[in-house]
Amino acid sequence: MPKLDRAAYLAEMRAEFERTLQEVADAVDDAPAGRVIRDSEERARNALDRFRRVAYEKAIQMKIDAAEAAFPPSAPRGDGKAASS
């Protein structure tokens, strides 16, 4: 099975990563003094959990796409249908 294109993966995920860091920073900055951890932890964790999920799903999808691209479609038979193995 072919490997996913890591440069393309990093390029596609870079904006998502920056968005996630902005969300974490917003969560911390929006929390009132004396309650920074209590009032920011859940928002930060949710942003990081979403990033983890998106990063994994994107990697899996790119791996599948690379595998599909490695196999050309079957040649059509005389009746117009694809040949089966």
For residue 81, the one-letter residue type is: K
Note whether 9 and 58 are within 8 A (CB). Answer: yes
| pLDDT at res. 22 | 98
> Which residues, in sequence order, are bridge partners of residue 76?
82
Residue 41 to residues 21, 24, 55: CA-CA distances in angstroms? 13, 9, 21
For residue 33, the one-letter residue type is: A
Note whether 8 and 69 are within 8 A (CB). Answer: no
14: confidence class by pLDDT, cuts 50, 70, 90: very high
Q: Where are the domains of the chain?
A: 6-70
**Percent residues over pLDDT 70 in the chain:** 87
